[in-house]
Homo-oligomer: A and B are copies of this chain.
């Protein structure tokens, strides 16, 4: 056999070489976990044989989307308490629910549900951060999704880590368990935020990340309140606070980055720190609008994220593409800002770059890992199709019918191939009944 999987007759968006044009009647050939070749059908080598063939039928093939910021297990709290002031939402609903219900079993099933939702809506790689991340990593492995799984760190007792003195050690143990063990799983560390981790914890966490060569995640400058508190406590913005502690570099991914002044932006650009922007979450929780157009002009690499489900209330990265562009336009009253092509890039190649995976995923090119999705093009809301921009502004996750990760078909014609989704939903519904039953 020449190939393991051959997709024929598809409209392909390779997103390679900085281009965003479509190959109209194209093929994509996969061998093992990698893309072997792609191009117009007429260039498909005659007699090229494949173990399995998918008739693209004119449908769209594009790189799988990359969710650079998620707390997957929070699907359990989807819509549990909405439209509330942030502190009431956190202190009276989310934190108490987390304290009562977060355990390894909950993290496993609720992460599995999140992975199902993400695969269904076109995400093939997710950067996750939560407690009991070992259980999350197991869930990701069992669903076939690619993941950067980061064990959470805070300076107070947390699910699975009752004594905060052991929080960094717990991360190292997690890294030991997973590093180099599963081809699709990259372990990482998630120091929750500059206001929940002491300078010492942040520095010890970053030291561990450097020593073990893993990504370092942190929430940064999400709310105006956070910036005010940082100025009061440390005399500097949260971004400069991290800079002074030596936390910012190309392997640090800062989620949100809504409240940045010009100096903060310069520090991110100068250090090469990455941004994971979550427009839907920032809207729902009323955090604010991140300066994405400006950050991009400054050369900062930005990926998109959904954040945890309770802050959204879904995990559809197609929606985040649309929101990212539309929000910049309406905030600055300038329709030229963050065009659809840029939003698509943020959800794919730039997301890969943010996670340090751009050499492997994020675009369709020979030699890259075969992470791609097929979308049903023959639908009213994608007609006519003048170009790829509709993928950001008209498509949604439900248009994805097939998902391929690392060369393996994980969803085919909307059927999950590797695990029992019905069981997963039933397990989460059962947990949800406990959440709403009287204490």
CB within 8 Å of B: which residues of A? Answer: 75-76, 78-80, 82-86, 89, 113-114, 116-117, 120-121, 224, 280, 282-289, 312-316, 319, 322-323, 325-327, 329-330, 332-337, 339-340, 378-381, 383-387, 389-390, 393-394, 396-399, 421-422, 424-425, 428-429, 431-432, 435-436
Cα A421 to Cα B335 with chains together (Å): 33
Tell me which residues across on chain B come within 8 A of A384, comparing CB atoms. 75-76, 78-79, 428-429, 431-432, 435
The residue from B325, B383, B398 contacting A425, defined by CB atoms under 8 A apart: B383
Tell whether, in the assembled complex, residue B315 and residue A381 are in contact, meaning their CB atoms are under 8 Å apart.
Answer: yes
* Min distance, Cβ A331 to any Cβ of chain B, angstroms: 9
Most buried by B among A121, A312, A380: A380
How long is the Cα–Cα vector from A315 to B396 in the complex, in angstroms?
Answer: 12
A383 cross-chain contacts in B, Cβ below 8 A: 75, 78, 113, 425, 428-429, 432
29 contacts between A and B (CB under 8 A): A79-B384, A79-B387, A80-B386, A82-B393, A83-B389, A84-B336, A117-B381, A120-B379, A224-B333, A283-B326, A283-B327, A283-B330, A284-B325, A284-B335, A284-B393, A286-B334, A289-B330, A312-B393, A312-B394, A313-B394, A314-B381, A315-B381, A316-B381, A323-B326, A327-B330, A378-B422, A384-B432, A384-B435, A398-B398
Q: How far is the CA of A286 from the CA of B84 in the complex (A)?
A: 28
Across-interface contacts of A323 in B (CB, < 8 A): 326
Judging by beta carbons under 8 Å apart, are B429 and A335 in contact?
Answer: no
Number of this chain's copies in the complex: 2
Q: Is the Cβ of A286 less than 8 Å from the Cβ of B335? A: yes
CB < 8 Å neighbour of A436 from B313, B386, B421: B386
Interface centre among A224, A287, A393 (most CB of B within 10 A): A393
A421 to chain B, nearest CB (A): 7
List residues of chain B with CB within 8 A of the CB of A429.
383-384
Write out the residue numbers on chain B whose beta carbons fall within 8 Å of the beta carbon of A340.
82-83
Q: Are B314 and A393 in touch, CB under 8 angstroms?
A: yes
A259 to B421, CA, bound (A): 47
- The docked-state distance in angstroms from the alpha carbon of A96 to that of B120 is 40
Instruction: Tell me if A396 and B398 are in contact (CB < 8 A).
Output: yes
In the complex, residue of chain B having the shortest beta-carbon distance to the beta carbon of A83: B339
B residues less than 8 Å from A398 (CB atoms): 396, 398-399
Shortest Cβ gap from A298 to chain B (Å): 20
Q: B89–A335 contact, CB under 8 A?
A: yes
- Within the complex, which residue of B78, B284, B381 is in contact with A329, where a contact is CB–CB below 8 Å? B284
Closest Cβ of chain B to A400, distance in Å, is 10
Given contacts A82-B389, A284-B393, A286-B330, 7 further A-B contacts (CB under 8 A): A75-B383, A83-B325, A83-B339, A84-B336, A285-B329, A384-B428, A386-B432
Q: How far is the CB of A437 from chain B (nearest CB, A)?
A: 12
Which residue on chain B has the smallest CB distance to residue A327?
B283
CB closest chain-B residue, reference A398: B398
